[in-house]
Amino acid sequence: MPDTFRPRLPRLLTAAAFGLLSACTTLGPDYSPPESPELQQWNEKLYGLAVPDSGEAAAIESWWHVFQDPVLDRLIEVAGQNNLQLREAGMRILQARALLGIAGAALYPQSQQATGDLTYINQQNHGGLGESSKDYGSFQAGLAVGWELDFWGRFRRGIESADAGFFASIEAQRAMQVLVNAQVATLYFNWRILGERIGIAHKNAKLQKRSLEITTEQFNAGNTSELDLQQAKTQYLATLATIPQLELQRRQTLNALALTLGRSPGDVPELEGSGYALPKIDAMVVNGIPARLLLRRPDVHAAAWAVAAQSAKIGIAEADLYPAITLLGSLGWSSSTLGGAPDSGLLAIGPSLRWNSFDHGLIRNNIRLQDARLQEVIEQYRQTVLAAAQEIDNAAISLLKTREQEKILAQTVTTAERALEIANTSYRDRLHRLPAGARRPALPLQPERPAGQHPGGEHRLSHRPLQGTWRWLVPCHPGRRRAARHARADEGAHRLG
């Protein structure tokens, strides 16, 4: 090679590298948000519960404050700090962030190796023409760099996929936070309601025991049949049998709440204390159009980011169809203390090309695989959206029907109170023998309710539009009406005595 051309070689290689970089392209489809045409057929009025957005959507982020219960506020705060599932989701965010950093590093020289060695040599010759001895050292150092140019967008698509995975992990953690908050509130109110049901069961058992004593006296006096006696005894024993089961359920609920708080079974000191009354809140409505709010749910966002991550992987697979161009360079230096040995240096630079020309359909089938996976995650996204719509629709109709049931139960209570009053009057005046209805509890232990309804007759409306999930538990037990009902029952038992 002529000496006049050698100084120009690095310039030509640099110019060629910039020319290749300027011609870079990005293969594969660009991400576009998946559509959910099924929502167009959804009842956006939500049975009359949905109203135009009034600007109060920000309150959804702290929906549990509507109950004005400091114990519940504290429990949710503790769960946010100690729940192990939330910590797991947080660790997945850190993992996704590290993967994003790994993907970003691919834009820079992928191979950067520095080498060096130091050698001491002692050479001794014996016999022959004479003996000789030499001591000298050898030094070597070098640097090798390999940089595969992102000519087809392979590494950019990798960063795009990792970035989408990172945001998907964040949304998954938010969805988990929403579920944990809702689970804490549900378990907390279940524990409270079971406590009240146990108290009602004990009061009913006390009334039925007194009724059994009166029926026994009537049977011994010949004023009633053995059938009435056995029925009264059966009803009393059946009520006693429900108390251990309710106590078991309450303890299991307490243990589940402790687990949600990241504690050992039963370790919930925040529940200590007395004087609690179930909250009574006004009916609530949904601000905004449900279809629009639904798309803001964290789980829906996570599903959309999963689509974006998989879409970028198609471009990574398509890049294998084309040659990979790599710039290689090395720099070396060596020296020796041996007399007369020269020092030497080395500089090498140049491009390298790698092309998988004969893969027997491996690359194209990998592209088909990634495309099929993209269609799969799109269907998963649509399924997530439809499942979210189902949850909101079920919760809305459950709220409406529970309100209807509340009105009927209120009438049932009034009717039962009147029946008890008539029975007490009849017995006091000695006009008739003790009716069987008077031996029944004034307070039903547990009204018949539809399958799946929340224990205790309260409403539960579950939405996950903005912050993710709202759960409104609207108690149906009017406290003052219940207290009056207890007083009348006690008064009736006193009169019967």
The yes-or-no verdict on residue 47 having pLDDT over 60 is yes
The yes-or-no verdict on residue 473 having pLDDT over 50 is no
The 10s digit of each residue's pLDDT in 139-161 is 899 999 999 989 899 999 999 99
Task: State how far the alpha carbon of 481 is from the alpha carbons of 413, 452, 477, in Å.
Answer: 9, 26, 8
Taking phi over 0 as left and psi of -120 to 50 as alpha, with beta for the rest, 457 belongs to left
Confidence of residue 292 (pLDDT cuts 50, 70, 90): confident
Domains of the chain: total: 1
**Predicted pLDDT of residue 478:** 38
Q: What is the signed CA dihedral for 59, 64, 70, 71, rounded to 10 degrees?
A: -160
The 10s digit of each residue's pLDDT in 7-32 is 555 565 555 555 555 556 889 899 99
Of residues 286, 279, 302, 346, the one with CA closest to residue 144 = 346
The yes-or-no verdict on residue 217 having pLDDT over 90 is no
The 10s digit of each residue's pLDDT in 76-91 is 999 999 999 999 999 9
Number of H helices, E strands in the chain: 9, 8
What CATH number is attached to the domain comprising 371?
1.20.1600.10
Q: Show the beta-strand stretches assigned E in 50-179.
A: 50-51, 111-125, 132-148
d(CA 17, CA 330) in angstroms, rounded, equals 16
Domain presence at residue 336: no
| Phi, psi angle pair for 446, to nearest 5° | -155, 105
Four-residue CA torsion sign, 398, 400, 401, 405: positive
Domain presence at residue 410: yes
CB-based contacts of 325, cutoff 8 Å, min separation 6: 20, 148, 149, 151, 351, 352, 353
Domain presence at residue 144: no
Domain presence at residue 126: no
Q: Tell me which H or E stretch contains 473.
A: strand 470-474
CB-based contacts of 447, cutoff 8 Å, min separation 6: 409, 412, 457
Taking phi over 0 as left and psi of -120 to 50 as alpha, with beta for the rest, 478 belongs to beta
Contact 442, 420 (CB under 8 A): yes
The yes-or-no verdict on residue 447 having pLDDT over 60 is no
The yes-or-no verdict on residue 191 having pLDDT over 90 is yes
- Structural domain range at position 439: 24-107+150-320+356-496
Domain presence at residue 129: no
The 10s digit of each residue's pLDDT in 50-109 is 666 655 444 567 888 888 889 999 999 999 999 999 999 999 999 999 999 999 999 899
Domain presence at residue 334: no
**Predicted pLDDT of residue 129:** 67
**Predicted pLDDT of residue 10:** 56
Domain presence at residue 328: no
Confidence of residue 218 (pLDDT cuts 50, 70, 90): confident
Domain presence at residue 454: yes
The yes-or-no verdict on residue 472 having pLDDT over 50 is no
